[in-house]
Amino acid sequence: MTRDITETFRLQQAYRRAGAIHVGEAIPEDGHARAVPLETLRFSTQSRQIAQTVAATLGLRPGASLERWTPLGARSPRWRVDTAARWVPVVLPPGEAITQIWQLWRRGHPVRSCDGVTQSSGSTCACPDDEAVRQVGAHQPRPTACALYSRVTVLVEGLPGSWMLTCTGRYGARHLATVAWRIRHTAVQGGHTPAVLAVELTTVELGQEEAAVIAVPRLELAEDRPLPPGVEAAARQRRAVVAGSAEATGRRWASAQECAEAICAARGWGQARLAVDHARRAGWMNSLVTPAGGGPPVSLQELAADRLRTFAPARR
């Protein structure tokens, strides 16, 4: 009996929510929330002790430190840990480790939720049938339609408790839906599923001369698990595409001046934005840089604003 109680307590401690994992950050811009991709995994938790454990286990991204942080739309601050890890070994606990549901949130509270057809209250879905119209309404400053929330609960090797990653992007949703299907069809029922959780930077085309770099969560199950027929070839093809994307988007700039040169040389808003976001995370926006055409030094913030403004007509 004592052994059963001890085991139950151990499992409760293991599955207790320790915090969240992030692959991007929402920042306010012109009255809207803009998603900024992260190059490494970010962990957030209410516990300073757990935050210190994360930093000691996974390491900190260069220039990062433990900080109090309030995500956009959150009601309370928590500890933020920008780790040096792009991937971590994880275990998916038994049950619904991956969930997907349509939800409408306002001021930090869920207003309604549904499965795409019927709301949790039993009423018919109130969102537009057209997915494109729904996407636009879901990402307004005051949302009018539900967004698809994909949530993954994992146990991270070397860290206490369980961690949840939440994704509202359609690219991440498609990938996680595939992983959930695979778990249901190949994993041992009631067992734990080993995997690797990673952040992947991917370039998506938004228009003829416009692109954006987004962060997509990737969950790769243990390679020794068999894949259904036909899926293995698709997985190999996707890994090849991912490798190409990583090579294309894995650029690094070692200084504010290098970021400035990349911003000036950008052929589209997405390329310039990638360098700007890198400079912002590195804390270089107030640094003085020399414009590509010469002239007196200006702040990187001023140069970036002028350069991004040149792409404004194309974005409209």
Residues 29-66 have pLDDT tens digits of 666 667 788 889 999 999 999 999 999 999 998 888 88
In a domain, 225, yes or no: yes
Residue 141 has a pLDDT of 66
Other beta carbons less than 10 A from residue 239's beta carbon: 12
Considering 249, 284, 305, which residue would you say is the last residue of a domain?
249
Residue 157's CB is within 10 A of a number of other CB atoms, namely 13
Residues 15 and 77 occupy one common structural domain? yes
One domain, residues 163 and 54: yes
Nearest one of 270, 260, 268 to 293, comparing CA atoms: 260
- pLDDT of amino acid 311: 65
Question: Taking Cα atoms as reference points, which of 212, 182, 209, 213 lies closest to residue 195?
Answer: 182
Question: Does some domain include residue 123?
Answer: no
One-letter amino acid at 231 equals: V
The single residue listed with the structure tokens 């991917």 is 202
- Which domain-ending residue is among 249, 271, 298? 249
List beta partners, residue 215: 201
Residues 155, 31 share a domain: yes
Cβ-based burial of 232 (10 A; exposed 0-12, middle 13-18, buried ≥19): exposed
The tally of domains found in the chain comes to: 2
Look at residue 137 and tell me if it is in a domain. Answer: no
**Hey, how many other C-beta atoms are within 10 angstroms of the C-beta on 248?**
12
Report yes or no on 111 lying in a domain: no
Tokens of 82: 């920008």
Name the residue with higher pLDDT: 110 or 229.
Answer: 110
d(CA 36, CA 10): 37
Same domain as 222, residue 83: yes
**Residues 241-255: pLDDT tens digits?**
333 333 333 446 788
- Residue 22 in domain: yes
58 and 186 inside one domain: yes
**223, 249, 275: which is the final residue of a domain?**
249
d(CA 308, CA 236): 37
> Residue 222's domain spans which residues?
10-95+148-249
**Using alpha carbons only, how large is the chain's radius of gyration in Å?**
21
* Sign of the CA dihedral running 111, 69, 203, 84: negative
**Would residue 130 count as lying in a domain?**
no
Expressed in angstroms, the distance from the first to the final Cα of the chain is: 67
pLDDT-derived band at 10 (thresholds 50, 70, 90) equals: low
pLDDT digits (tens, 9 = 90+) for 169-201: 888 888 888 888 887 776 555 567 888 898 888
Cite the beta strand spans of the chain per DSSP E: 17-29, 32-45, 67-69, 78-82, 87-92, 98-106, 109-114, 147-156, 162-167, 193-205, 211-221, 288-289, 298-299
pLDDT, averaged across the chain: 76
